[in-house]
Amino acid sequence: MKVTELAKEFGTTPDTVRYYTRLKLLNPAKSVNGYKSYSNKEVSRLKFILSARNLGFSVADIKEIINESEDGKSACPLVRSLIKERLEETEKQFQAMLALRGKMSSALSRWEEMEDKAPTANMVCHLIENFEQIKKA
């Protein structure tokens, strides 16, 4: 299988496949003409990678998981521990986005009934600069 064929097989892009290949998550043989040739093993490997990405694992995580399994060990304990970390991070980011969304939406509605103002020497836009004060130390 060539790069583009493999990518289409799972609805991803050739660039993504090439990226994983550069990181040696996939290890295709070299075809006569220098093209990369992916075997069935690579196909299921890619499927695994995409599933893991879908679940929030980083590419570095995935590399670690694969290394573990190539040592013949069960990757399950590692996988459980990693997803705990990632879930915590996701939760933090989620809360941050929740707060940001609220701020943005409140700014938007407040700004719709405020007038335009020309900039001054030390004020670029009064909408932004008066919305929330950044505290000085």
Partner DNA sequence: TTTAAACCTGTGTGTAAGACACAGGTCAAG
Partner DNA sequence: CTTGACCTGTGTCTTACACACAGGTTTAAA
**Site map 7..46 versus a second copy, x via CB under 8 A:** -xxxx----------------------------xx--xx-
We find the least distance from the C-beta atom of residue 3 to a second copy, in angstroms, to be 15
Binder of DNA out of 43, 45, 48, 53 (CB under 7 A) = 53
Q: To which residue do tokens 């941050």 refer?
A: 96
> What's the sign of the alpha-carbon dihedral 118, 122, 125, 127?
negative
Residue 2, interface with DNA (CB under 7 A)?
yes
**How far apart are alpha carbons 67 and 44 in whole angstroms?**
16
- In this structure, are residues 40 and 50 in contact, taking their beta carbons and an 8 Å threshold? no
**How far apart are alpha carbons 16 and 59 in whole angstroms?**
11
3-class secondary structure, 39: coil
Binding site for a second copy (CB under 8 A): 8-11, 40-41, 44-45, 47-48, 50-52, 54-57, 65-66, 69-70, 72-77, 79-80, 83-84, 86-87, 90-91, 93-94, 97-98, 100-101, 103-105, 107-108, 111-112, 114-119, 121-129, 131-132, 134-137
